[in-house]
Structure 1
């Protein structure tokens, strides 16, 4: 194995007998090494054989800016995911996850925290990946003594989702979150209220919206054709029913989808419940 480029004393880019570039780590592996120098196998502690030479070189560039232990932590997390959940993960995760972990640790040291607006969705729809995220927090704490919050477990989980699904699951989660947030905004502005996020009715409403958004994005919306409840809620809860018309207009414009009568009934009932306290207190 020959040196291509030494990034520091303990990390180097190398090329094997087949001509593939590898990222290697080990005490003194890059010390005073020049291109084409032969590497002593005895000093190699870890070899990262990535999918492409371009990915290996990008990882090397990253390791020139951050501590190598952050890559070791990412590797431990990926190995835990593979062994515990028997999943296939793209090598690109070594780049993205290492970069994220390093940035998260830097933010933590500066007292900066970022709220994960998709934490609810990650917990609900990606339970295995979130479990990996929680384990990642344990690994980071064990290796560095840094205790990151649950929001970071959610971010790490999304990196695993992305690596497992080539970005498709990540896109679905993002799109689903956008639908939920947009509908909540429509309700808020229609009634000119601040919804009580700690209430059970709010939790029920958001849960319904999440499942609805999931069905919508998968094109799994069906309608029973029952007009009786539709007519009833239209008369009994006219303001909440009017709000569903705005939601329907948004869905047609943004997602080329139309609310079914069933869905307008369910949404009307949820909207009435979640806004009732505000209306009765006026």
Structure 2
């Protein structure tokens, strides 16, 4: 592989069998110049992306330390999750992270409205996000808020194999947030978001939405559903209200048996409050 352009000490554009690629490796460009040869053993990652030009521009514009931090977070995530992340995470996370670090250094703090839902739905990814913000603090002494751990978690989740699309993930999480808000407003309660019943509700609602996308629902016999409607009538009316909101705002219609299960979770939540 022959160097075509040096992006920073750890990244170069190379020509490999006539194809342009970005080669990543610790100190890969140290004491190197254009047309020098890169040995395969020095390459840790090799990218052939549609976004090659964007990645080149990004690596030329951001501080090299931000690039290194992103690479370290990706490596840590892959080890913790025991999986390879989609190669597009390198561009997406590096771009996001550098901008986030600049914002925080300037005292501009962005809130993540989906923080509590992300903590529950994507526990492993959120734990990696928490490690990442501690690592940033230790490395460059920029203190990132816990909200940023949630943003990082979303990036990691959507870049897992079959992790999904970022827009779809954010949309589903926002729908869950709205469903919970609808429930609390209907019941006139405040939820302790660290409570186990809240975690169970969020988890169930998430899988309810997933099942709807897959045309697969819980099975509950009519007799049991009738009992639930009568015994927990207020919670059932709350579930009906949630269903009406979902249909009106998002075009999602929950079947009766799903409403039965949601009613049980709402009843538990109400009792705990």
User: TM-score by structure 2 length?
Assistant: 0.75
Other structure's SS at 1:222 match:
coil
Aligned 8 A contact 2:126 2:149 in 1: yes
User: Which residue number in structure 2 is paired with residue 49 of structure 1?
Assistant: 46
User: Which residue number in structure 2 is paired with residue 20 of structure 1?
Assistant: 20
User: Which residue number in structure 1 is paired with residue 61 of structure 2?
Assistant: 65
Aligned 8 A contact 1:51 1:91 in 2: no
Tell me which structure has the larger Cα radius of gyration: 1
In 1, Cα distance between the equivalents of 2:93 and 2:156? 8
Task: Tell me how far 1:230 sits from its aligned partner.
Answer: 3.6
Which of 210, 213, 216 is the matching residue for 2:212?
216
State the number of aligned residues: 267
Aligned 8 A contact 2:182 2:242 in 1: yes
Structure 2 residue 259 is the aligned partner of structure 1 residue 264? yes
In 2, Cα distance between the equivalents of 1:92 and 1:199? 33
Aligned 8 A contact 2:121 2:203 in 1: no
User: Which residue number in structure 1 is paired with residue 72 of structure 2?
Assistant: 76
Q: Deviations over 1:188-237 (max 9, x none)?
A: 4545x36334584545543443343343344331222142x544454455
User: Which residue number in structure 2 is paired with residue 34 of structure 1?
Assistant: none
Task: Tell me how far 1:39 sits from its aligned partner.
Answer: 2.9
In 1, Cα distance between the equivalents of 2:121 and 2:9? 43
Aligned 8 A contact 1:74 1:94 in 2: yes
Which of 114, 137, 140 is the matching residue for 2:136?
140
Give the alignment's Cα RMSD to 1 decimal: 3.7
In 2, Cα distance between the equivalents of 1:271 and 1:48? 48
Aligned 8 A contact 2:3 2:37 in 1: no
User: Which residue number in structure 1 is paired with residue 237 of structure 2?
Assistant: 242
In 2, Cα distance between the equivalents of 1:276 and 1:82? 41
Unaligned runs of 5+ in 2: none
Unaligned runs of 5+ in 1: 31-36
Which of 31, 39, 59 is the matching residue for 2:36?
39
User: Which residue number in structure 1 is paired with residue 157 of structure 2?
Assistant: 161
